[in-house]
């Protein structure tokens, strides 16, 4: 499998479309937004849970921009918990790094590049570039589980990290499946096939709790409860999970509001919009649109306002802690 970083180029080419494509043109624009500040260096890598800047600093969902240190050269941010970050490079190195002072708590080496990873107090769950699922014992410092799955030819850059939930561990795979493991037994209890596509079928979203867990690929969403599994087939560009409800952003400019059982509550059509990121701002949903706009949407999808960004979005974007980061600038959401 080609290195993960090359997939971004494939994704851009796939989504670029033909020259006759129509573009989002809002009828009313409520002003132009100016940058509130600069990160000095631009974003060079984005995951679902954070972004890495060119100088090695990181932006995370929990903390926003962290200025207290930098990742080692060649490393990118993958995930975080309350105190630590997980960072990897393309050679199979994985570092667990303190968010407080960027000291390296543990250095690990694996055979393949690690694509996704999550940790709890004693275990590190990972999926590597060959779509192998791994479980590493951080206390005894040894690999305690490995299973080789089918390789994926091409991967969507939005990949979901594994999730620990009580005594269960959920592995979202690169070939569109969700494996549910009992951590103590080291045994896979369920193998749920989500996607039926040949390429770009990895799990891009995984969130929820013990009563209802939502997983999605770019073509289908599943809701998993202790007693049932529900499916909803749709085009998925991005997803937000807020207050037990799902906001599903499609590639055709449609936004769907679903309940936790995947029943449709409302739909908002934003003709020809190309969504480049979404954020739950508490009282409203904020969405960046590729042609240079920021949409502020009422949470019931009843209406939205549009403001013009400083430029079209041609660089990676990331939302965190009430700010939109684009390239090397940031905008405070209001």
pLDDT tens-digit readout, 137-150? 999 999 999 999 98
pLDDT tens-digit readout, 256-292? 999 999 999 999 999 999 999 999 999 999 999 999 9
Q: Report the percent of the chain where pLDDT is more than 70.
A: 91
- pTM score, two decimals? 0.90
Instruction: Determine the Cα–Cα distance for residues 116 and 201; give it in Å rounded to an integer.
Output: 15
Once rounded to an integer, what is the mean pLDDT over residues 85-101? Answer: 97
Once rounded to an integer, what is the mean pLDDT over residues 198-209? Answer: 85
Read off the tokens for 134.
């791994």
Q: Whose CA is closest to 251, among 156, 331, 172?
A: 156
Q: Whose CA is closest to 270, among 240, 241, 306?
A: 306
Q: Report the percent of the chain where pLDDT is more than 90.
A: 84
Across 133-172, b (16+ Cβ under 10 Å) vs e yields: bbbbebeeeeeebeeebeebebbbbbbbbbbbeeebbbbb
**E strand map for 81-212:** 84-88, 93-98, 104-109, 114-119, 123-128, 132-137, 142-148, 163-165, 168-172, 177-182, 187-193, 205-208
Question: Which pLDDT score is estimated for 14?
Answer: 45
Once rounded to an integer, what is the mean pLDDT over residues 201-219? Answer: 91
């Amino acid at each position: 499998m080609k290195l993960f970083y090359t997939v971004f180029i494939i994704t851009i080419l796939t989504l670029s479309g033909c020259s006759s494509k129509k573009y989002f043109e809002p009828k009313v624009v409520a002003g132009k937004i100016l940058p509130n500040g600069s990160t000095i260096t631009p974003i060079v890598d984005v995951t679902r849970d954070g972004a890495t800047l060119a100088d090695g600093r990181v932006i995370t969902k929990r903390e926003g921009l962290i200025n207290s240190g930098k990742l080692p050269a060649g490393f990118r941010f993958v995930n975080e918990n309350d105190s630590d970050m997980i960072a990897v490079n393309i050679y199979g190195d994985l570092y667990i790094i303190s968010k407080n002072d960027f000291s390296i708590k543990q250095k690990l080496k694996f055979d393949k590049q690690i694509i996704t990873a999550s940790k709890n107090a004693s275990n590190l769950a990972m999926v590597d570039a060959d779509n192998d699922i791994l479980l590493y014992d951080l206390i005894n410092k040894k690999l305690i589980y490995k299973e080789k799955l089918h390789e994926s030819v091409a991967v969507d850059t939005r990949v979901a990290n594994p999730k620990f939930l009580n005594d269960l561990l959920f592995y979202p795979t690169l070939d569109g499946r969700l494996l549910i493991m009992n951590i103590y037994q080291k045994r896979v209890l369920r193998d749920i096939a989500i996607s039926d596509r040949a390429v770009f079928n990895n799990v891009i979203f995984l969130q929820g709790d013990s009563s209802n867990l939502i997983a999605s690929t770019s073509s289908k969403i599943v809701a998993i409860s202790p007693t049932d599994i529900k499916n909803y087939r749709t085009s998925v560009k991005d997803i937000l999970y807020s207050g037990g409800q799902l906001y599903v952003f499609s590639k055709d400019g449609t936004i769907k509001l679903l309940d936790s059982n995947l029943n449709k509550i409302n739909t908002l059509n934003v003709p020809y919009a190309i969504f480049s990121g979404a954020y739950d701002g508490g009282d409203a949903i904020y969405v960046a649109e590729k042609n240079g706009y920021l949409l502020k949407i009422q949470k019931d999808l009843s209406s939205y306002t549009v403001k013009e960004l400083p430029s079209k979005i041609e660089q990676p974007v990331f939302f965190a802690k009430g700010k939109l980061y684009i390239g090397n600038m940031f905008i405070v959401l209001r």
